[in-house]
Amino acid sequence: MIYWQLFLSFIQIGLFSFGGGYAAMPLIQGQVVTLHQWLNMEEFTNLITISQMTPGPIAINSATFVGMKIAGVPGALVATLGCILPACILVTVLAKLYLRYRNLSVLQSVLHSLRPAVVALIAAAGVSILLTAFWGTGAAVTLAGTNWVLVVLFALCVVLLKRFRWNPILVMVLAGVLNLAAGLLRF
């Protein structure tokens, strides 16, 4: 039964996560945190962090992680298959259709109109993760409850990525080292 639930949950994510991994985050959150409660919000935030640090798409890494946590290796395989199966079918069909009808203005209009929805999905996922990172799971958003170390690390990472164009891997390693050092200084 759990294998079927994992497969159905991740096939839905695979079917409706237009726009890539970041757009899939709210769908993954809806399935694994809200609907099935396989993870809490803090675990979900850790899942997204781990999925970012490992090679491969976020949705597939998330499916593998959740499947492994819930039902071991078979669960990881079932969840991952559920996640990639719709993409394999859809991409094959869409590639054939796009190559045949790519010059139609109606098709270009549809593709253009999907962009704002994808941006909204990405922004919603980012805000949820940001709130959890700075204030914790279910905590009220107050100045007193803010984790200022993480706020400063976030700002530093944004500056290093956007202004100085540092390699994202180096920025993640630096953020981890700085957070570890801050934690050691608190003790």
* pTM, to two decimals: 0.64
* DSSP one-letter code for 39: S
Q: Could you read off the pLDDT of 24-48 as tens digits, one per residue? A: 888 999 999 999 999 999 999 999 8
Instruction: Tell me the domain boundaries of the chain.
Output: 2-140, 147-187
Query: What is the crossing angle of helices 58-101 and 41-53, to 10°?
Result: 60
Instruction: For residue 121, count other CB atoms closer than 10 A to its CB.
Output: 21
Backbone angles phi, psi at 144, to 5 degrees: -65, -30
> What pLDDT digit, counting tens, does each position of 45-88 carry?
999 888 888 888 889 999 999 999 999 999 999 999 999 999 89
Q: How confident is the model at residue 6 (pLDDT cuts 50, 70, 90)?
A: very high
**Taking every pair of C-alpha atoms in the chain, what is the biggest distance, in angstroms?**
64
